Amino acid sequence: MNILVTGSSGWLGQHLVPLLKRAGQTVTGLDPVAAPTTDIIGSVADRGLVRTVLRERRIEAIVHGGALHKPHIATHDSSQFIATNVQGTLNLLEEATAAGSTVDRFVLTSTTSLMISHEIRDAHERGIRRAFWIDEEMAPLEPRNIYGVSKLAAEHLSRMVHGATRLPIVILRTARFFPEEDDMAHAIVQSDANTKANEYLFRRLSTQDAASAHVRALERAPEIGFDTFIVSAPTPFSPDDCEQLVADAPLVVERYFPRYREIYARRGWTMFDRIDRVYDSRKAMRRLGFVCQTGFGDILAELDREEGS
């Protein structure tokens, strides 16, 4: 299959492109930044370039991971987010469904960030005493910044084009898998590695799992038709834990992982005092047939092995 991967120089693209190639796929990487995983330097905002790539490479599937991301808010203005994340997505969708196109499936990399409103972000300051249980049914969606707004717009465009053309489209709302340090506003005193380990409980996945989810979405898109999935490491928690997760998260974690305090103590690590949101990825398991291979239990086991060696 001839696959176009946009954002091929980015963190996801650097892992996804080799994974697809190892599976025997023919991959064309498109990105404004040069990298070993990128074949064509350019932007999805350039519609002429998009048209040329799809036609000349006879692209059959698109993984649209190219976008301006949250860290770019500090360096790019809102119009640039619209040009890349919204107009760029529309360019791909319309060229993929134009007469003569060979594209028969489309996977959009979206983000759980678009599900986080100011109410959720500032829950502690607002005195909210229960963690938010977040799944694909949560509504209304009220993104708090231009990144989330632009990604939600890209999702709406995808739904619109699917409705008009029946192009199979799968949207993956990925949780955190980027390597940058946490930027959460509430007090986080843990180290970066400690923070990332904690997040596997409720809002993180490995980069390898993120890439694998896209491969699975490509495989299942024709059968699924259209759908949206949260992709995050399986949480051990249930909605019944949400009140105590805000009051005393370490106690809840200990209930599920009795040895976590012992393993963490060896490294001087600690758990977040509170957890204010939990991403539920069970729909991806049920309908997409995908489950992340790395979860908090795996992280603990690896830490335990390292300390014991």
> What token pair was written down for 140?
């209304």
Give percent above pLDDT 90 in the chain: 87
Residue 81 counted as domain residue: yes
Give alpha helix (H) positions in 166-248: 192-199, 207-224, 242-247
Judge whether 126 lies within some domain: yes
Residue 32 located in a structural domain: yes
Closest CA to 59 of 12, 10, 19, 6: 6
Q: Which pLDDT score is estimated for 186?
A: 43
Q: What are phi and psi of 49, to 5 degrees?
A: -65, -45
Mean pLDDT across 291-299? 98
| Total tally of structural domains belonging to the chain | 1
Residue 191 has a pLDDT of 86
For residue 30, what is the DSSP state?
A: E
pLDDT (0 to 100) of residue 182? 58
pLDDT at position 293: 97
Asked, for residue 301, whether it belongs to a domain, the answer is: no
93 pLDDT exceeds 60? Answer: yes
In whole numbers, what is the pLDDT of the chain averaged over residues?
95
Q: Which residue has the tokens 């106690």?
A: 251
Range scoring the smallest mean pLDDT among 162-176, 184-198, 223-237: 184-198
pLDDT at 136 over 50: yes
pLDDT band for 70, please (50, 70, 90 cuts).
Answer: confident
What is the average pLDDT across 123-139? 90
Residue 162 lies in a domain: yes
Return all residues near 275 (Cβ < 8 A) that are at least 6 apart. Answer: 131, 201, 202, 245, 246, 249, 252
Instruction: Give the separation between CA 105 and CA 295, rounded to whole angstroms.
Output: 29
153: containing domain? 2-234+279-294
Percent share of the chain, pLDDT over 70: 96
Mean pLDDT of 148-154: 97
304 lies in some domain: no
In a domain, 186, yes or no: yes
Residue 154: closest CA among 55, 204, 81:
81
Q: What is the pTM of this model?
A: 0.95
> Could you tell me how many residues make up the chain?
309
pLDDT of residue 188: 58
- Kindly state whether residue 182 falls inside one of the protein's structural domains: yes
Six token digits for residue 201: 């409980």
pLDDT band at 187 (very low <50, low <70, confident <90, very high): very low
Here the CATH number for the domain that contains residue 227 is 3.40.50.720
| Residue written as token pair 């502690």 | 124
Average pLDDT estimate for 86-107: 98
